[in-house]
Structures are given as C-alpha cells and as structure tokens.
Amino acid sequence: MKKILISLIAVLFMTVPTTLRAEEGEAIDAGSEIIGHVTDAHSWHLFDYVSDGETHAVAIPLPVIVINDGHVDIFMSSKFHHGHADYKGYRLIGGGSEKEEIACVGPDGELLLDAEGNVVKPLDLSITKTSAAIMISVALLIVIVMVAKRGYKKRPNQAPHGLQSLVEMLVVFVRDDIVRPMIGEKKYQKYLPYLLTLFFFIFFSNILGLIPIFPAGANISGNIAVTATLAIITFLITNISGNKHYWIDIFNTPGVPAWLKIFPLMPLVELMGVFTKPIVLMIRLFANMTAGHIVILGFIFLIFILSNLFGSLVGGGVTIVSIFFSVFISLLECLVAYLQAFVFTMLTSLYIGMAVEEPHHAEA
C-alpha cells in the first residue's frame, strides 16, 4: 500500500509542473489531443519537450510502405518531420481529431486532386502504431507461453510455479468454464486453440493498452479494424462449421407458424442474425476499450483546461482530484480488459456451439 501511495504522489508532482506551464501556452484542444491518442498513427509518439520557445515531439519512427501508380516507396515516417515536410511526393495529413493519412503532392507542393476534387492517396501498407503494437503483443505472448512450456519440461508432473501458474489458470478457466460448456464435450477440443488464442490476445492487448509507457500504450482493441478482423474470423469459423441443422433452423425455424415461413419474415430475421452477431462482437469490444481510454484522458486534460481558464492554482488543486479519478478508472479498466476478453470468447464459443449442435431428438 505504501508503494502505491508513493507512486501516486510521484505522478502528482510530475503532473503539476506541466499544469503550470499550460497557463502560459495556447489553449489546448482537448478533443483533438484525446482522439489523437486513441487513434492510429504512422509514428509512435512518446512525449513533447520545449526548447527555445518551440515544442518538439519525440517519437519512434515506423516504416512507411506506399504504392502509387505501380511504384513502391519504402522509407521511415521520420522523413515527414511529424507532418511538417514532404518526402518523395508524399505528405502526412490529418492527425488529431482527423484520420492521419498519406496524400500525394505535386512538384509545386500542392496536394494532388482527382477529377472529383478528392485528394489523391496512395495505397498505404505502412506499419502503423497499431500494427507495431500487435507485433509486440504477439511476440510477448509467444515469450510468455514458451516460458510456461519450459516450466512444464523442467518440472514434469509437478505443481505449476510462477508465470506457469497464471498461464495454466487462464487456460483451464477458458477450457472448463467457457469453451466446454458452450460447445459441448465432444467437439470443444477442435475449437479450443482458436478460442484460447482469441482470449489471450484480447486480454493481453487490453492490458498493454492501459500501460502508458513504450512499448505499451497503443489502443489495439480500440481500433475498429482489429476488432472487425477478429469478428470476421469468428464469422467464418462459425458458418463454415455450421451443420445442416444449423442452416435448416435458419431458413425453416421450428415452432414458427407456417404463414411466417411462407411470408419469409422469420428466415430473414434469422439470416440477419447471422451477420449482426459478429457486428455486435466488433462494436462492443471497440466501443468499451475506446471509451475507457477517452475517459481517462478526459480527466487528465481537465487539469490543463481548468489551468488555462482559471490559473495554475485552480489547476493544481484539480490535479489531485483528476489523478485520483484517473487511477480509479484505470483500475476499473483492468477489470473491463478481462471482461471484454471473456465476453468476446464466450459469445464466440456460444455461436460456434449453436452452429455445431446436433438436434435433441438425434441424441435421444
């Protein structure tokens, strides 16, 4: 408990000087800053510092890979100088509340426009912050699993120890409390590897997103493309695994009046459900994790907003309250990180179980 209090006090004192400096600068666009932190980018921003009255950004550059008119260009995002310079006919536009993108520029330095007046953009295959964070997350997960595996080899037929205990506890929990009851005793093993991977990836990515220090801090599961990919994989596995009874129940729902089948209201509803289930999975994970990050950042930026409006004394007083609520929401987000991994895995298991379930009369 003492270590926690010391950490909170340290964070408090690190935040107060920044709050006092905010009074002398320009008004902070909190909305743009918050959205910029939770969205994707072509570099990994670490912090800013002020030198000679100018603000300089410190960031880790990431590879830019673009294809324009069949020509492939590969370079580091540092060539853009955080959006202040063009390179090889490309410019980094957007950022903040707008999506950060790469656009084509002409020899005169003007953005190229197509016949409809839209900005010409190359095919962007860059390794962005989210892509890099996924690689880091997967690499760390592989290390954790390999360490647990080595523990079993070194200490066979013995009780798990250290990191091995945590991994085994989560694996057994997912297997016995989620996958096996939802899919059934006979068929769950076929889908267990995917569902374990799904749970560990979401849970680990959520936890890393709550740590504001590189290589963590990226909002992986708060990226709609990531959650959409996971939902599409679930959609494909569910419907490819579906047996004939699954599809018969969709187009010839049992227990429904005949006139609803002739006028295909229920088949349409059931068929829409096939597509809305993965959409719900996608949006739930994306919205919950993004909302948590926005709330935490909102409390932090409240310090700077009130400091600019009412002076550094009010900002310093608000700092205590803001830090307290930020820590509280962060602890709550740890629970949400686990719950979202649990819910996504549980619903995926449920959908697969419904698709492979045999009719009751066949079992009888």
Q: What is the DSSP string of 201-269?
A: HHHHHHHHHT--STTS---STTSHHHHHHHHHHHHHHHHHH--HHHHHHHHS-TTS-HHHHHTTHHHHH
pLDDT for res 229: 94
Which whole-number Å values give the CA distances from 8 to 2, 327, 328, in the listed order? 10, 8, 11
Q: How far apart are CA 276 and CA 265, in angstroms?
A: 16
pTM across the whole model: 0.83
- Indicate if the pLDDT at residue 21 is higher than 60: no
With left for phi above 0 and alpha for psi between -120 and 50, is residue 187 left, alpha or beta? alpha
Rounded CA-CA distance 327/164 in Å is: 29
Instruction: Report how far apart, in Å, the C-alpha atoms of 298 and of each of 97, 165, 319, 326, 352 are.
Output: 14, 37, 12, 9, 39
Look-up: residue for tokens 């057994």?
172
CA 321 to CA 316: how far, in whole Å?
Answer: 10
For 232-259, what is the mean pLDDT? Answer: 82
Query: What amino acid is encoded at 274 in this protein?
Result: V
Do residues 354 and 246 touch, judged by C-beta distance below 8 A? Answer: yes
Question: CA-based Rg of the chain, rounded to a whole angstrom?
Answer: 25
Q: What per-residue confidence (pLDDT) applies to 361?
A: 52
Strands ordered across the beta sheet of 123-124: 71-76, 63-68, 123-124
> pLDDT digit string (tens) for 142-197?
999 998 888 888 888 777 777 888 888 999 999 999 999 999 888 889 999 999 99
Average pLDDT over the chain, rounded to an integer:
82
Q: Which helix (H) or strand (E) holds 277?
A: helix 265-310
Q: Tell me, what DSSP letter sits at residue 26?
A: P
* 293 close to 38: Cβ distance less than 8 angstroms: yes
Percent of the residues in the chain that have a pLDDT greater than 70, as a whole number: 87
- Cis upstream peptide for 257 (omega within 30°): no
Give Cα separations from 205 to 79, 119, 174, 198, 353 (angstroms).
29, 34, 17, 11, 26
Handedness of CA 126, 129, 135, 138 (dihedral sign): negative
Instruction: Using alpha carbons, select from 323, 288, 287 the residue that is nearest to residue 302.
Output: 323
The pLDDT assigned to 186 comes to 85
